[in-house]
């Protein structure tokens, strides 16, 4: 094979790779748009009477996740199944955002932490990497850390809305989450930096709880804790 033939073959391979990346990019853009729609919907819980509409917002968000599953099915067809990590960077950010959104919905519904397997099911992908397009553990953990930041914000807005019991429950949840992360030996630099931010979320929520205590509102919250969430 001549040099010109060799480079012609290389050019063909490069062109094919670029075509794959372009197809992936189009689907990822659609996923990002759906993620923005879900986020916009869920942000309503932070506003005024938003707490009263949590069930409806969660139900609507789950309907949007139906669109996510369809888009994920399309994404799976855009690249060879054995080259997940070769193209992973293209969808890594939006997948982490979707993990956060799924985790936020589950928390709003039940005030529990969603499992990686449950998130994978919500998104229409696998939890086991051996079965194809899957939810990477680090992507799951990154989404969970974003949830922590969102809950810190929710704790503050709960007080503004006159819901004094919710920050106490959020505080207990975040402290348990922090304890869980302390069990992990995180070596990924990006994930480690994200985890370092968790201590600020813990501190922010502790300040909210402390303020409630100083104002004597924590007693009222404790009395009403057994009521409707």
Q: How many CA atoms lie within 13 A of 109 on its CB side?
A: 15
What does the DSSP 8-state code read for residue 226? T
What does the DSSP 8-state code read for residue 50? G
pLDDT for 228 equals: 45
Q: How many CA atoms lie within 13 A of 8 on its CB side?
A: 5
Tokens of 62: 């789950």
pLDDT for 70 equals: 97
For the chain, give every residue range classified as CATH 1.20.58.200. Answer: 137-221
pLDDT for 172 equals: 96
121 is in an annotated binding site: no
pLDDT for 186 equals: 83
Task: Pick left, alpha or beta for residue 162 (phi over 0 → left; psi -120 to 50 → alpha; otherwise beta).
Answer: left
Please give the chain's pLDDT, 229 residues, in tens: 777 767 677 766 667 788 899 999 999 999 999 999 999 999 999 987 778 889 999 999 999 999 999 999 999 999 988 899 999 999 999 999 999 999 999 999 999 999 999 999 999 999 998 888 999 999 999 999 999 999 999 999 999 888 899 999 999 999 999 999 999 988 767 888 889 899 999 999 999 999 998 888 766 555 444 444 4
Instruction: Look up the pTM and report it.
Output: 0.88
- Is the domain spanning 1-135 CATH 3.40.47.10? The answer is no
* Count of beta carbons in the 10 Å neighbourhood of residue 216: 8
The answer to whether the beta carbons of residues 102 and 65 sit under 8 Å apart is: yes
The answer to whether the beta carbons of residues 170 and 199 sit under 8 Å apart is: no
pLDDT for 222 equals: 57
For the chain, give every residue range classified as CATH 1.20.58.190. Answer: 1-135
The answer to whether the beta carbons of residues 168 and 222 sit under 8 Å apart is: yes
Question: Helix and strand tally (H, E) in the chain?
Answer: 9, 0
CATH of region 137-221: 1.20.58.200
């Amino acid at each position: 094979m001549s040099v010109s033939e060799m480079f012609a073959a290389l050019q063909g391979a490069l062109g094919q790779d670029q075509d794959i990346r372009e197809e992936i990019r189009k689907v990822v853009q659609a996923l990002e748009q759906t993620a923005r729609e879900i986020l916009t919907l869920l942000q309503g819980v932070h506003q005024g009477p938003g707490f009263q509409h949590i069930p409806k917002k969660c139900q609507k968000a789950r309907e949007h996740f139906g669109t996510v599953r369809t888009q994920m099915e399309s994404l799976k067809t855009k690249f060879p199944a054995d080259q997940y990590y070769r193209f992973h960077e293209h969808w890594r950010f939006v997948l982490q955002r979707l993990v956060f959104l799924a985790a936020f919905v589950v928390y709003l519904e039940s005030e529990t932490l969603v499992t990686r397997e449950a998130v994978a099911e919500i998104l229409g992908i696998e939890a086991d990497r051996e079965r194809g397009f899957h939810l990477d553990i680090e992507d799951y953990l990154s989404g969970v850390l974003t949830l922590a930041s969102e809950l810190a914000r929710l704790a503050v807005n709960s007080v503004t809305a006159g819901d004094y019991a919710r920050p106490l429950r959020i505080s207990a949840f975040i402290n348990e989450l922090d304890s869980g992360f302390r069990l992990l030996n995180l070596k990924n630099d990006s994930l480690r930096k994200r985890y370092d931010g968790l201590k600020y979320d813990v501190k922010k929520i502790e300040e909210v709880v402390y303020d409630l205590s100083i104002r004597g509102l924590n007693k009222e919250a404790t009395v009403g804790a057994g009521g409707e969430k």
